[in-house]
Amino acid sequence: MLYFLEFVVACLFIGFYITQVLIPLFKNRPLFPSFRRLPFARQLSQAKAKLEETDVQQVVIDIATEAQEAAIEAEIAAVRLRKMKTKKEENPHDA
């Protein structure tokens, strides 16, 4: 019976070592994650959500800026085209 208890304790120790030390080391995470899980997991998920929201907002701002620049360029091209047409109409012999 004592050997069985010794075996169970050894298995629990090995399991604890693998799950709390080895796996986090290989995944480049903090050691002993079960002791940190609840408050840090909540903070981490909130931080990730804020980061994703910020990223989405930045993408929207970038797209809006590009659209405004494209609209300005299109307006400039339209003005130049109108000027060319009026010059052509004023001087039909120069063309």
DSSP 7-24: HHHHHHHHHHHIIIIIHH
Q: Higher pLDDT residue, 31 or 8?
A: 8
Kindly state the average pLDDT of the residues 35-41: 69
Is a pLDDT exceeding 60 seen at residue 8? yes
Specify the pLDDT at position 5: 94
The string of pLDDT tens digits covering residues 43-90 is: 877 888 888 888 888 888 999 999 999 999 999 999 999 988 888 888
Burial per residue of 37-74, b for 16 or more beta-carbon CB atoms within 10 angstroms, e otherwise: eeeeeeeeeeeeeeeeeeeeeeeeeeeeeeeeeeeeee
The model scores a pTM over 0.85:
no
Specify the pLDDT at position 94: 60
Q: Which of 49, 24, 48 is nearest to 36 (CA)?
A: 24
